[in-house]
Amino acid sequence: MKNIQVIDGADNAVYDIFAATDDEFAMIFLAGQDVAFIDEVMARASRRELDHAFAAIWQRRVAKAEVNGIHGVLFYEMDHKKRYYPTRRDEDAINPDGTRLR
């Protein structure tokens, strides 16, 4: 299982972490990537397959105190963040001026 942290734009978001099977993870994140935006995910796969995968994932919330690593971050309603993750890899995040964040 791989852990996915969900970052939601809602004011009451709590940024939960969910466990996903390798197949579910691969539906959300392209090979070599660990950052995804829901609109891009929805454009890549069939709605039926994704609905099925997410229904299963949402049943596997992991308490943050019990998490042993975060393997991916999924953004909802946060399109303005796309420019900071041009490669969709967290380690490659950039500042507004294009310089590396880390």
* Residue-wise pLDDT tens digits, 80-99: 999 999 999 999 999 999 99
pLDDT for residue 80? 96
CA separation for the pair 55, 63 (Å, rounded):
18
pLDDT of residue 102: 86
Residue range 68-80, pLDDT digits in tens: 999 999 999 999 9
Indicate the pTM of the whole model: 0.94
The one-letter amino acid at 85 = Y
Domain ranges of the chain: 2-92
Place of tokens 């001026």: 97
Give the residue ranges of DSSP H helices in 1-67: 22-28, 38-44, 47-57
